[in-house]
Chains A and B, each alone.
Chain A
Amino acid sequence: EDQVTQSPEALRLQEGESSSLNCSYTVSGLRGLFWYRQDPGKGPEFLFTLYSAGEEKEKERLKATLTKKESFLHITAPKPEDSATYLCAVQAGNQFYFGTGTSLTVIP
């Protein structure tokens, strides 16, 4: 069964404390893996697309990496404004599968 699992469900960090979010997937025919950020009451905001194992992308304090079974979203020296739910999604064949997200809280 195609599945996307994110961990941890929730993460509290002190400002400046770097960490990583995990997205593991079991799908056949991976076409792309997407990371989104979602703030309360808003739709997800696109961050990255990764297509093949070994690929990495960076944007400000965020860096996404991809292996054959999982993806990591590394957050370096986070700030309170990075607090949000981070969603991972996988496109496999003609389907899109989302994880349930990691709720990140960065404490000043």
Chain B
Amino acid sequence: KAGVTQTPRYLIKTRGQQVTLSCSPISGHRSVSWYQQTPGQGLQFLFEYFSETQRNKGNFPGRFSGRQFSNSRSEMNVSTLELGDSALYLCASSFTGEEGYTFGSGTRLTVV
């Protein structure tokens, strides 16, 4: 079966711009969560959506936002990009969120 698909794979943006990342979960999965991975901080939880509603949220500033559509696809938006936002952004999906998540390969964002 198809896995979790994230697009684009790589992205270069300029400081101050905004960016939108996309995630298509495994068919039937209703929970989608987003993570930021950096060498210094490791994996950090951004937020989780379930049936189009944000169910959980990590400790990131309001510049990081997301949404989920009726087909469970999800987007993450980062506004006013900072150099420190350079990271691998991972999306993961799960049927309910209580069992393990299946991760995508991520979007590598570089802010210059």
Which residues of chain A have a CB within 8 Å of any CB of chain B? 31-32, 34, 36, 41-49, 87, 89, 94-101
Contact = CB atoms under 8 A, between A and B. Distances in A.
A100 B90 contact: no
B53 interface: no
Nearest to A99: B42
A95 B100 contact: no
Contacts of A96: 33, 35, 45, 48, 56, 58
B56 A94 contact: yes
B57 interface: yes
A45 B100 CA distance: 9
Of all A-B residue pairs in the complex, the 8 with the closest CB atoms, nearest first, are: A43-B103, A46-B100, A98-B43, A94-B56, A96-B45, A100-B42, A44-B103, A49-B100
A36 B37 CA distance: 14
B45 A95 contact: yes
B32 interface: no
Interface residues of B, number: 23
Contacts of B81: none
A46 B101 contact: yes
A41 B35 CA distance: 15
B94 to A, nearest CB: 9
Contacts of A49: 99-100
A32 B103 contact: no
Contact of A98 (B45, B98, B100, B102): B45
B106 A97 contact: no
A58 B101 CA distance: 18
B110 interface: no
B66 interface: no
A23 B93 CA distance: 23
A41 B106 CA distance: 9
27 contacts: A32-B98, A34-B100, A36-B100, A36-B103, A41-B105, A42-B105, A43-B4, A43-B90, A43-B92, A43-B103, A43-B106, A44-B92, A45-B103, A46-B100, A46-B101, A48-B100, A49-B100, A87-B42, A87-B43, A89-B43, A96-B33, A96-B35, A98-B35, A98-B43, A99-B42, A100-B42, A101-B42
